Amino acid sequence: MQQEFSNVYHFSSIGGTQNDANALVDATKAKEVQFHGGDVTFTRGRAWTSGGSQASNNMIVDKALTGVGGQANATSMDRERAVLVSWPAGNDSRGKPVFLRKWFHCCGTFAGVTFATSVLQQTSAIDSTSRGTIATAADAIDGQVVNGNAFDLVAKSGRGTTGGAQCHQYLEHHQLGDQWRS
């Protein structure tokens, strides 16, 4: 079963052009190849402006992508299960923490981290060393410099990251995860 992957991020545009945004999509896809198994096909990449209101931010690049993930697949892993990585992004108006989240459908291996059977069966957590490796690899997406211009990962609203990536302890189902996570 092929898992299609559409690469959608919002980046702050610090001096960038449409050509820079196009190069940013390519650079981000090149980093993400190491996050996904061969069952993942890269299909689309998009880059949006940010910093204005949600209504004034626009998609400036929408392009077809090709290729597949560069990691081995675990045949016993459910293809809907994903690694959840989040970046802290400050606090909301009530003082509650806000996070930028990204689910990676890795199909068994993420940036060289192979998951134990107990992790795939949800009977144990991803160990702290592996979570650190995953977080470090995912952090390469934030703060990219392309064609001499810096691009930071942000929310649709323009809210930026305030810390490094964190990997959730357990594998997640993207569609079901928000129903039980606090």
Question: pLDDT tens, 130-144?
Answer: 999 999 999 998 888
User: What DSSP state is assigned to residue 132?
Assistant: H
DSSP code for 163: S
Q: Which of 31-35, 71-75, 76-80, 101-105 has the lowest mean pLDDT?
A: 76-80
DSSP per-residue string spanning 43-63: EEEEEE--SS-TTT--EEEEE
Domain membership of residue 153 as a residue range = 3-180
- Number of domains composing the chain: 1
Q: What is the pLDDT of residues 7-50, one digit of tens each?
A: 455 566 555 678 888 898 899 899 988 888 888 888 888 887 76
Q: How far are the Cα atoms of 7, 11, 47, 120, 153 from residue 65, in angstroms, in the given order?
A: 9, 18, 13, 29, 20
